[in-house]
Amino acid sequence: MQTRTLGTNGLQVSALGLGCMGLSFGLGPAVEKQEGIALIRAAVEKGVTFFDTAEVYGPWVNEALVGEALEPFRGQVAIATKFGFEIDQVTGTNPGGLNSRPERIRAVAEASLKRLRVEAIDLFYQHRVDPEVPIEDVAGAVKELIEQGKVRHFGLSEAGVQTIRRAHAVQPVTALQSEDSLFWREPELETIPTLEELGIGFVPFSPLGKGFLTGKIDETTTFDPTDFRTVVPRFTPEARKANFALVEVLKALAAAKGATPAQLALAWLLARKPWIVPIPGTTKRHRLEENLGGAALELSAEELQAIDTAASTIRLQGERYPAHLQRLVGR
């Protein structure tokens, strides 16, 4: 597995990371604990050194899973986690609000360190921009944690370009995490040029379009009631039927390379910039191995152009998020 560097302060990670959320939260029933540990450790064996979690995934249970799984590899891997949602500290429920007050950031850091079983958090993201707290105060709080040796790098998730600039002026931002894939290309407009200008790495989550680009989801697919995709407009049966045209294009192009649609989609992301590190998630060992094959797939300039040209002819249907979640994005 090749490595890549996020930001200008030397955070070196594997070219593909592993998004761990779905092992515990958001994509149907959680996997059995030992199964989750085994999958994370299998990723390490395959060369993955970058793992993504958050306190709100569960809440808390995903961080604990990742911490236990990676404890034998302390110092060999980088773990990213996130703060920023309001969580009831007694019941462990997330009422849906945001909270990035400095005292809350400090409390989350202490709790996450314990759950992750590490001495310092490698990358600490603000999960969503909190309009009630100036981003300068957020960046300042993380800067203090970095100075104390409790955090190594500062990140933002789903932030708009002006927020990125303001935060970066207080504490250099190592990475921005946002959704990006052939299924959702909005970051190309303003975000990626801004990151390139400032020397900030980019960590696309849902690089396979929440699983759609694998070709295993169509209009007949049913989701568990706990699966987040049940409320995503782009995943209504009607939208899936229309959007499958993109999958058909990927299938044809992938077949010519002896690859799968998922591998082609990941290789396309990796080829765009040397500081892009996608974090596909999975609960299955064979999907993990398939995804990692995307990191070894090389695409020529002509092949990249063919993918872009073919994808641009398809008008995708359905919004990325329901309205109440979309309001938290890009501020």
Overall CATH class of domain 3-326: alpha beta
Distance CA 11, CA 200 (A): 11
Cβ(128)–Cβ(71) below 8 Å: no
Distance CA 66, CA 19 (A): 10
Helix (H, G, I), strand (E, B) or coil at 50: strand
Distance CA 109, CA 279 (A): 22
- Tens digit of pLDDT at every position of the chain (331 positions): 999 999 999 999 999 999 999 999 999 999 999 999 999 999 999 999 999 999 999 999 999 999 999 999 999 999 999 999 999 877 777 767 999 999 999 999 999 999 999 999 999 999 999 999 999 999 999 999 999 999 999 999 999 999 999 999 999 999 999 999 999 999 999 999 999 999 999 999 999 999 999 999 999 999 999 999 999 999 999 999 999 999 999 999 999 999 999 999 999 999 999 999 999 999 999 999 999 999 999 999 999 999 999 999 999 999 999 998 888 898 8
Distance CA 49, CA 82 (A): 18
Cβ(216)–Cβ(278) below 8 Å: no
Cβ(22)–Cβ(55) below 8 Å: no
127, containing H or E segment: none
- The alpha carbon torsion through 199, 205, 207, 213 (nearest 10 deg) reads -160
Which residues are designated catalytic? 57
Q: According to the model, what pLDDT value does residue 324 have?
A: 86
Q: Where are the domains of the chain?
A: 3-326
Angle subtended at Cα 83 by Cα 9 and Cα 157, rounded to the nearest 5 degrees: 60
Helix (H, G, I), strand (E, B) or coil at 286: helix
Give the dihedral sign, CA 193/196/197/198: positive
> Which residue type sits at 246?
L
Looking up tokens 């049940």 gives 230
- The alpha carbon torsion through 207, 243, 22, 156 (nearest 10 deg) reads 40
φ, ψ for residue 180, nearest 5 deg: -160, 135
